[in-house]
A and B are shown apart, each in its own frame.
Chain A
Amino acid sequence: MTGPSDPELRVKALEQVLTEKGYVDPAALDVIAETYERNVGPHNGARVVARAWCDPGYRKWLLEDGTAAIAALGYSGRGGETIRAVENTAQVHNVIVCTLCSCYPWPVLGLPPAWYKSAPYRSRVVIDPRGVLSESGVELPGDTEIRVWDSTSEIRLLVVPMRPGGTEGWSEEELARLVTRDSMIGTGLPKRPEEPAP
């Protein structure tokens, strides 16, 4: 592009021209950014997972129609118009990626972290997932199926990790604190009950 090469100056020029011509309202841009800074993030997904851990009917609904079950908790829209939840078991461990760009379930996890959008993750997790998991400190039994989901359509994925042992009788709120972002991507596991809450 012509014009200033520094991205900060380029964004400023782009927003200025679009605002002068009426194509954007800067106050609406603030609403969008604040949504992802304050309201929409992994705490949403953690609530979904904790509900599924506590409520077998909700779990079934979530796995059958993720979009509707997640919308029932108030999460929907841009970057997750359709969401499929996939459940980890003793036999299957799910991992999500977007090898073509950066697709990610925004309404439940917020904006993706930089590593998720990076070449090392996108290139490697579909061919060497155990290597990627191992570097994240996740070692799975040798006979566990590693099921990698490449997000090639507008159906976004949410991993439902296995509920940690030793959490019998815990409330949804307590359980949600064990559910990490990476455990819902599949590159991590939930916190153990003895680990301090963040």
Chain B
Amino acid sequence: MNGVHDMGGLHGFGPVRPEPDEPVFHAAWERRVLALLVGLGLAGHWTLDEYRHARESLPPAELLGASYYETVLAGVERMATAHGLVSADELAAGRSMRRDGPPPRPLLPDTAGDTMRRGNPSVREAPRPARFAVGDSVRARNIHPVTHTRLPRYVRGHAGVVTAVNGCHAFPDARAHGRGDDPQWLYSVRFTGPELWGPDADPTLTVSIDAFEPYLENPA
């Protein structure tokens, strides 16, 4: 979706403001919501792609105006509600009111560390040979799906070069919408600054993205 989450190249946000000696969390609730995000994600109730789509689908003003962890909280609330773990009236009441959700499979304290160290790899078996090879010229397709995608707007329609073939991975555009893993070849594609940003761009700049095969075409 062409949302405000897709920020590459936007102007007007001002300087980057690092915080000296920044703590890992700024409030106890941030710590808790991060743990909920990771714990429920690793328990497999939903995919990271579904969660990302829920977060980027927040009202644009909220996504831009709220703090990072406020948007994480909203994303987790949406996921937990959409997957039937909780309902809006239960969240309002702060207590369980029904037991009709999916079977619980909570992360347990003694195995949580191992589960985190394993993570949830996205690499999949290749269903077909790769279409592109290192050194190939490619073009990012000029597509504007209203659904989730990991193809940033600022590369669409632009030509680049494949610098790596990274195997097959679960395809976020499918997985975010419950359409299974639909494994796709994943390439690193490098674009020059002037190709992306025009003749006034920094000529020493290159930008690389990881692009799934359906994002790419032969340059016309």
Contact partner of A10 among B91, B99, B120, B190, CB < 8 A?
B91
Contacts of B95 in A (CB 8 A): 16-17, 20
**A122→B210 contact, CB < 8 A:** no
Chain A contact residues (Cβ within 8 angstroms of B): what range? 35 or more
Determine whether B82 belongs to the interface, using a CB cutoff of 8 Å to chain A: no
A77 to B108, CA, bound (A): 17
Q: Are A2 and B91 in contact (CB under 8 A)?
A: yes
Judge whether B166 and A155 touch: CB under 8 Å. Answer: yes
Contact A142 B154 (CB under 8 A): no
| Complex partner residue of B24 from A15, A37, A119, A148, CB under 8 angstroms | A37
Q: Does B206 lie within 8 Å of A145, measured CB to CB? A: yes
Query: How long is the Cα–Cα vector from A12 to B95 in the complex, in angstroms?
Result: 10
B1-18 interface mask toward A, CB cutoff 8 Å, 1 = contact, 0 = none? 000011111110111111
Closest residue of chain B to A102 (Cβ to Cβ) is B68
Q: Which of A22-37 contact B (CB under 8 A)?
A: 22-25, 27-33, 35-37
Is there contact, CB below 8 Å, between A127 and B9?
yes
Contact between A33 and B16, CB atoms less than 8 A apart: no
Nearest to B186 among chain A residues (CB) is: A153
B152 in contact with A152 (CB, 8 Å): yes
Question: In the bound complex, what is the Cα–Cα distance between A28 and B107 (angstroms)?
Answer: 6
Interface residues of B in 56-97 (CB under 8 A from A): 56, 64, 68-70, 73-74, 76-78, 80-81, 85-86, 88-96
Most chain B CB neighbours (cut-off 10 Å) among A14, A24, A27: A14
B151 contact set on A, CB distance < 8 A: 152
> With the chains together, A15 CA to B95 CA distance in Å?
9
B137 interface residue (CB < 8 Å to A): no
The interface residues of chain B lying within 8 Å CB-to-CB of A36 are: 24, 34
Kindly report which residue of chain B lies nearest to residue A13, judged by CB atoms: B94
- Nearest CB in chain A to that of B105: its residue: A23
A-contacting residues, B113-147, CB 8 Å: 113, 116-123
A15 / chain B contacts, CB cutoff of 8 Å: 32, 36
- CB <8 Å contact, A81 and B122: yes
In the bound complex, residues from chain B placing their C-beta under 8 Å from that of A121 are 16
| Complex interface residues of chain B between 2 and 55 (CB less than 8 A to chain A) | 5-11, 13-19, 22, 24-29, 31-36, 38-43, 45, 48, 52, 55
The answer to whether B94 touches A148 (Cβ under 8 A) is: no
| Chain B residue, CB-CB nearest to A97 | B8
Closest Cβ of chain A to B174, distance in Å, is: 14
List the B residue with the shortest CB-CB distance to A147.
B206
Q: Mask for A70-104, Cβ within 8 A of B = 1, else 0?
A: 00000011111110000000000000000111100
**Interface residue A177 (Cβ < 8 Å from any Cβ of B):** no
User: Does A128 touch B at the CB level, under 8 Å?
Assistant: yes
Within 8 A of B (CB), among A99-119: 99-102, 110-111, 113-115, 117-119
- B166 to chain A: which residues have CB within 8 Å? 82, 153, 155
Contact of B201 with A127 in the complex, beta carbons under 8 Å: yes
Which residues in A have some Cβ–Cβ distance to B below 8 Å? Answer: 1-4, 7-18, 20-25, 27-33, 35-37, 41, 76-82, 99-102, 110-111, 113-115, 117-124, 126-130, 132, 135-136, 142-155, 182, 187
Q: List 25 A-B contacts (CB under 8 A).
A: A1-B78, A1-B81, A3-B88, A11-B32, A11-B33, A12-B29, A17-B95, A31-B109, A41-B24, A77-B119, A78-B119, A81-B123, A99-B154, A100-B6, A111-B24, A115-B19, A118-B68, A120-B13, A120-B15, A127-B8, A127-B9, A130-B204, A148-B208, A153-B122, A154-B48
